[in-house]
Structure 1
Amino acid sequence: MTSRLVPTRRALLAAGGAGAAALLGACSNQGRGGIPVKYANAPVTLPEHIPYQGVTPDLPGDPKTGLMDGYFEYPSSPTAATSGAPGDGDAISSLVRTDSPVPPGVSRNAFWQALNERLGSDLKMNIVPAPDWDQKFATVVAGDSLPELFVVAGGMQELPKFLEATAADLTPHLSGSAVKDYPFLANIPTDTWEQSAFNGKIMGVPVPRGIMSSSVLYKRTDLLEEKGITEDPDSFEEFLALCKELTSPRSNVWALGAAPLDLVRQMLGIPNTWSEKGGHLTRSLESEQQKEALEATRKMVEAGVVSPDAFSSQATDRKNWFVAGRNYFMMDTFSAWPNFEQIQSVGDSFRMDTMRTPGFHGDPEMACAWLGNPTYGISSIRKDAGERIPTLLRVLNFLAAPFGTEEYLFRVYGVEGVDYDLQGSDPVATNRGVSETPLGFRYLTDAPWPVYVPGKRRSTQSWYDGQKMVVAYGLADPTLGLYSEADTRIGGSITGRIDDLTNDILQGRKPVSAWDDGVAAWKKAGGNRIRDELEQARADKESS
């Protein structure tokens, strides 16, 4: 999943029309009702976390660490956890995105029709393919035609001001114990709500992902065991030696489909994006071990254990290589696990597991795992919604129905006998279901994701075990939930230059020694300003 759901200021203005320029101009006018950036991180009482207790997991999670609940099968008699339709009979407009092919329209989509019937209101969704999202959102803003429900994300420039101008303040409805009126929203962990808070207000409902967005190293256990390999490497040198043993260019097989720089960084214990000490932040780019990580990873590229197509490949290419057995290892997110099971073609013999990051020099205590952002994005309610806000929140509450309920079974898998068939109590999607169900409303909000692979107990157990292992030595980015205007304006461009330098070093076009100058340029071009704003943001959020 991409984490970028909304356009930059340039994209908004490029869409044309006075609407976008007027909106951004008004948002930027701090002297006439605008919100100064320094208040963007003002504190607010977030919703109380009240976990749903209606189903007992086979594999208990932990909201404090992000570990998700695991289930071996869907309850045979799922409980209907709501009563009555949440809608008010009037249509609800929304703008959503999808990473899947756009499904059939409501007139040809039995699932969409059934959804509207359950909601008691027609949910009119403008479903936008991910590659077209920036331009579409910009056009909607330029035309002053935001729907009642719309998706935003933290990468948007001037986001606090944009939300102040366009989105309803949900604090009276959701802050503290008020969220009890929406029990499925209360089931969303508190840390996930932090990124919906701006200007001392709750400005949206989050899309929770927990630990699912964390990238880890997957290994093809089945293929390794065929070669008699059952033990994981304990150091970088052991990992490199294993990769050399597994690579066979004549057979079109390489140990890795991409240069594993982030894995090596974690072997060395380099912090996750930022580190904090005594209120002061340091970007992980400045870590003393960065050049050692670059040198080691370049050594792997030079050793030929990485696919020669690595630097020109796409994520889908690398996934296909992994399931086809052309690679033994792959870095990907926990959320990708079910997709690997869907696209693999070897059946029950397919086995993958999460490999623990070894310590670079053999000390496992020195290694870390980078935990991903627990919040995928947020959805906001249009500012003029007024008395309709409770209705829209009830609809969002329905769309966040948790695993084990009848509502979750419906909203994720669709209509039985049409979109899925039951194997025992587990839903198995039909071809029609694969086409009809990805309506994109899981980007408006969602329940915490379960660890559940229908009909595959061993896979579910392995997925859960990997998450449990990772949270035990995982590191979060300490700046999550903090807003920096400089980061949204220039963070992408200056980090892009670092990424270009990284690729040049890994491919031997520049020496590792060029890293120091690259980091110095990053700091001068805005990195120091981002750090200062994040430190101020932390102070603002911690103030009373």
Structure 2
Amino acid sequence: MLGEKGLDRRGFLGLVGAGVLATATGGAVTACGAPPAQQTGTALGGAELAGVLPTHVPVEFAKPDLPGVGGSPAAYLEYPAQLVEAIKDKPGSGGQVTAMTPSFWPVPPGLGQNAYYGAVNAKLGATIKFEQVSGNDFQQKLSAMMAARQVPEIVVMPSFTIPARFTEGVGTVFTDLTDFLKGDEVRKYPMLANIPTDDWLGCAFNKRLYGVPFPGSLYPETIYYRADLFKQLGVAPPKSAAEFEQLCKKITDPAANRWALGDVFRAMVRMFGGQGDWSRDSSGKVVNQLETQAYTEAVKFTRSLCAAGYAHPDYVSGGLSGTSKHKDLFANGQMLIMQDGVGAWKEMLAAQRPSDPGFDMAAMPLFHHDGGKPSYPVSTPTSMITMFRRDLPKDRVEELLRIADFAASPIGTQEYHLVNYGTEGTHSTRDAQGEPQLNDLGRREITLTYGFFAGPPPIISNPAYPDFVKAQHAWYADTHSHRTKPLEFGLKVDEPAEFSKLAKEFQDKTMDVIFGRTPVAEAGKLAEEWRRKGGDQLREFHTKVLADAGR
């Protein structure tokens, strides 16, 4: 996750998004957007939150070179030369604030030994004392702290590590922020008001708002292809399943140590018309994605690609699971098509272009199996949730909201620059394209700490590679026009604990078919077995929570 800025916040979001999808869908089998927790589940979303969510009031401090299209991310070909001071008054009151954030990187030097901390704290008017907890340990740590009712003033929780029974206990540990932020109340914090409505959905529990979001992506992943090698081979992206199969056949050449693809299964489910983990059939019945024709056809189609020898042997053997090896195979041209998070595009260019200027990758345009109109069922774009301890007085909560407001400042502001690049001349300098680049001190001291408190809407920016900026902007604009919201979009669902192993079990059974470990005929039996092993009971649960949410 280390890019040309040390740690790129949007690259991180893309990687997180991919992780969320892989975990939450269990290979597009069942919905587990939060770890299974209670014996009786809950859901929240839609009309129930109309009076709870903040008003969206967009702000702009630097005009984008390529505006967003219908809500897709805006793009900047150049980093703004002049920065605006967005927040005139210091948010803090001069004291110390305790905060716990997740860490996915080495912990930097602490207070008194970190010039970055000193610079941001001076601007905030408060001394933030961070406790950084490994992302792998965060869920367990937070669970223990909640049980003891002993949490720091600020807790930043990854949306993919929500502890068991969190919905039950959130109101006993964390402050209800609804009356501070609902509707036009959020206008007191203009940078927070800039965060789109959908990003706040993941911060709502028990019909109330308990957090401030760090926005993520609606599109956690996509298919990439080696555009440079496609050009050499005289091939182009496909527009149907038949064209995709012919493409794979044409570019696969084991004698040249070249195969078409690795894991593309979830993208194949979308290609065949998958509408998310849960949907309704023609009769209105709630069905799991595993029960749909789209899922079965995707399994059979992906199996046929593997059986024909178009998939890299390491994928078929299971050797790519849980590793980043697919990136290496893609980079060295042994695998020309891969599925990865949206942040992988920028990060791979940064890693490969310096030594291979001709390296070019692109996101494959969406396509439908029969050549018709494609669709992309989007994910709730809440990546992180920032919460405040419940026992804090009103004026302290307002101070912490002002600090979060500072962290949410968008590109073009001095605040954004400070949070992401530290002090210019000390932590970073501008390169020939005007893009800030962290120096050795910046890379050592700056990680996502303050930046996790809140964030502006995602943007596209990489002055070093304007071709990437234009291509990603175009991909987002096109994909945004094909987005659909799944049946449970924005719902907060805690599944009963007895179903916790169901997703992984059927993910494994699905891959057994795809890899040829079990006969392809088993693809048509997966749904029946899933229903027998608890799927029907899980359907009843989701039917009820959908009804409770007015869906």
TM (norm. structure 1) is 0.86
Corresponding residue of 2:434:
425
The aligned runs of 1:350-365 (5 Å cut-off) are 350-361=359-370, 363-365=371-373
* C-alpha separation in 2, matches of 1:406 and 1:379: 22
Kept in 2: contact 1:206–1:376 (CA 8 A): yes
Kept in 1: contact 2:44–2:490 (CA 8 A): no
* C-alpha separation in 2, matches of 1:160 and 1:279: 29
Corresponding residue of 2:393:
386
After superposing the two structures, state which structure 1 stretch, 159-168 or 329-338, moved more: 329-338
Deviation at 1:83, TM superposition (A): 1.0
1:124 to 126, 129, 145: 129
String of CA shifts for 1:334-377, please: whole Å, max 9, x gaps.
2333222222243542322111233323x232x32342331113
* C-alpha separation in 1, matches of 2:331 and 2:42: 48
Kept in 2: contact 1:322–1:328 (CA 8 A): yes
Cα 1:542/1:377, change in 2 over 3 Å = farther
Point out where structure 1 has 5 or more consecutive residues left out of the alignment. Answer: 6-26, 30-35
Corresponding residue of 1:265:
269
Deviation at 1:509, TM superposition (A): 1.5
Corresponding residue of 1:398:
406
The residue type paired with residue 511 of structure 1 is P
* C-alpha separation in 2, matches of 1:135 and 1:205: 22
Corresponding residue of 1:201:
208
1:220 to 208, 211, 226: 226
String of CA shifts for 1:64-122, please: whole Å, max 9, x gaps.
x6511111111111111011221111211111112233223333322122121111111
Q: After the TM superposition, list the runs of 4 or more consecutive aligned residues in structure 1 that deviate by more than 6 angstroms.
A: none
3-state SS in 2 of match to 1:106:
coil
Corresponding residue of 1:248:
253
Corresponding residue of 1:177:
184
Deviation at 1:477, TM superposition (A): 2.3
Cα 1:422/1:115, change in 2 over 3 Å = same
String of CA shifts for 1:21-61, please: whole Å, max 9, x gaps.
xxxxxx989xxxxxx96686654431000001322211112
Deviation at 1:142, TM superposition (A): 4.6
Report the aligned-residue RMSD: 2.6
* C-alpha separation in 2, matches of 1:49 and 1:284: 33
Corresponding residue of 1:12:
none
Mapped pair 1:161 → 2:165? no
Mapped pair 1:191 → 2:198? yes
String of CA shifts for 1:381-427, please: whole Å, max 9, x gaps.
11111231000101111111111111111111222223221024321
1:72 to 69, 77, 85: 77
Cα 1:518/1:252, change in 2 over 3 Å = same
3-state SS in 2 of match to 1:503:
helix
Deviation at 1:526, TM superposition (A): 4.3
Corresponding residue of 2:494:
485
Mapped pair 1:57 → 2:64? yes
* C-alpha separation in 2, matches of 1:160 and 1:461: 41
3-state SS in 2 of match to 1:485:
coil
The residue type paired with residue 475 of structure 2 is G
Cα 1:200/1:149, change in 2 over 3 Å = same
* C-alpha separation in 2, matches of 1:307 and 1:326: 8
After superposing the two structures, state which structure 1 stretch, 150-159 or 191-200, moved more: 150-159
Mapped pair 1:332 → 2:340? yes
Kept in 1: contact 2:79–2:434 (CA 8 A): yes
3-state SS in 2 of match to 1:146:
coil
1:476 to 468, 485, 488: 485
Cα 1:148/1:530, change in 2 over 3 Å = farther
Mapped pair 1:110 → 2:111? no
* C-alpha separation in 1, matches of 2:256 and 2:478: 33
Kept in 2: contact 1:192–1:374 (CA 8 A): yes
Higher RCO structure (Cα 8 Å, ≥6 apart): 2
After superposing the two structures, state which structure 1 stretch, 160-169 or 301-310, moved more: 301-310
TM (norm. structure 2) is 0.85
Instruction: Give the length in aligned residue pairs.
Output: 508
